[in-house]
Chain A
Amino acid sequence: MATKQVRYEALVKALHADLYRYAYWLCHEKQVAEDLVQETFLRAWRALDSLKDEKAAKSWLITILRRENARRFERKRFDMSEYEEATIIDTQSINSEQDIENHWLREKIGSLPEEYREPLVLQVIGGFSGEEIAGLLSLNKNTVMTRLFRARNQLKDALEKEPEVRGTYNG
């Protein structure tokens, strides 16, 4: 019992931030993301004995979270595209150069198509390889690599197109 508790707490401490960020980019809402992570860890706790390989913990948790997210849509069907862009913006005060850039880039990432964003988040935040992402999303590896390419390509284009607009934030 004690060891299970210890394992669980270690899992929470090591992975809750990554999982929260993944959830956030999945649903664009802080509160929903937090609920998803809560639900995911609760399920993880109940099924902790089935987790044999600690290295697989992150992908295991992400699989649970994706399922939870899908369940959320079964319960209450609403369309993602109806989300106001404003809701995905981080509302914390923007004060440094870095924050401005993050803020701007977050908008761009938020407006990427879902199918491009999810592999990107898994790669950059989760540190998963192309194969692992393909496994998590039930896609083949080539599709994943193409989507990653397009995601970065679009972000780079956007960055190059709007340097002046970004400058005005500084004024």
Chain B
Amino acid sequence: MDDLQFRRSIYADPQCADEDIINAKASDPSKQKFAREIEQLDQQILNALKVPVPDDMAQKLILRQALDSHQQQKKKKRIHLALAASVAFAMGLTINFMQFSNAYTNMGDYAFAHTTHEAAHFSNNDNATVTLASLNKKMASFHGSFSDKLGELIFADYCRFDKMKSLHLVYKGENSPVNVFIIPKSEHLAFINSFSNQELNGKSLQFKDASIIVVGDKTESLQKWQENIKSNVTWSI
């Protein structure tokens, strides 16, 4: 290794432990001397570079970090509190909504639900026991009456129709009973002309103070029932 290259390497890195550098040092005393000089220079440089560090620096760094993480935790706590409050608020709203709102939005839905719920109690083979007179007695509370029988009436009584007092009539139908509901005008149930699901059809008639809903199975001609009702019912006042 020539002298220039050796000097360059030592200047660049006095600690250099490459094999050829070590060999060069070992074989040439002048090179060794030079290397020692530069090592000494490096020691001086190291001493000079080691400027005094402020005494309390480490403590300050730890303090600053402690404050920072405290701040972050406080922020997190606030977020958690806000989250808990929002969840509680949302739950309150939901419960309120579920308890005090109406489950059905239109009369068709409710009529089907009511019919299906009570379907087990009625059969087309039941005896028709209700007379026109007793039906009209009940109709009186809706200020209405029927001039003639609509069909063979199995059952007639007041029912709760989504919390409203209504009259529930069950007639014999073609294959299964036909349900007729007389309900007062309602604000929370939307009037709906005709409605159906897989098994049942329904049709509604709207009068001045009441609606009449007919629900029957798919074989039933609800049109005929409606016409029949229209021509038979009279409303006082």
**Which residues of A approach B to under 8 Å, CB–CB?**
8-9, 12-13, 16-17, 20-21, 24-25, 30, 34, 37-38, 41-42, 45-46, 90, 92, 98, 101-102, 105-106, 109, 120-121, 123-125, 130, 145-146, 148-149, 152-153, 155-156, 159
Contacts and interface: CB of A to CB of B under 8 A. Distances in A.
Interface centre among A38, A41, A92 (most CB of B within 10 A): A41
The 7 closest A-B pairs by CB, nearest first: A105-B48, A149-B11, A145-B12, A149-B12, A148-B12, A152-B11, A17-B53
Given A45-B68, A149-B8, A155-B41, A121 B61 contact: no
B62 interface: yes
B38 interface: yes
Given A12-B58, A12-B61, A45-B65, A124 B46 contact: yes
A125 B64 contact: no
A21 B12 contact: no
Given A12-B58, A25-B51, A37-B61, 20 more contacts: A8-B62, A9-B62, A16-B53, A16-B57, A16-B61, A17-B53, A21-B49, A21-B50, A25-B49, A30-B54, A34-B54, A109-B48, A120-B49, A124-B42, A124-B45, A124-B49, A149-B11, A152-B11, A155-B41, A156-B38
A155 B41 CA distance: 9
14 contacts: A16-B53, A17-B53, A20-B53, A21-B49, A25-B49, A46-B68, A102-B47, A105-B45, A109-B45, A109-B48, A109-B49, A148-B11, A149-B12, A155-B41
Contacts of B126: none
Contacts, number: 100
A18 B193 CA distance: 86
B69 A146 contact: no
Interface of B: 8, 11-14, 38, 41-42, 44-54, 57-58, 60-62, 64-65, 68-69
Given A12-B58, A12-B62, A38-B64, A21 B13 contact: no
Contacts of B61: 12, 16, 37-38, 41
A112 to B, nearest CB: 11
A37 B49 contact: no
Q: Which of B11, B45, B46, B52 has the largest number of chain A CB atoms within 10 A? A: B45
A121 B49 contact: yes
B69 to A, nearest CB: 7
B64 A41 contact: yes
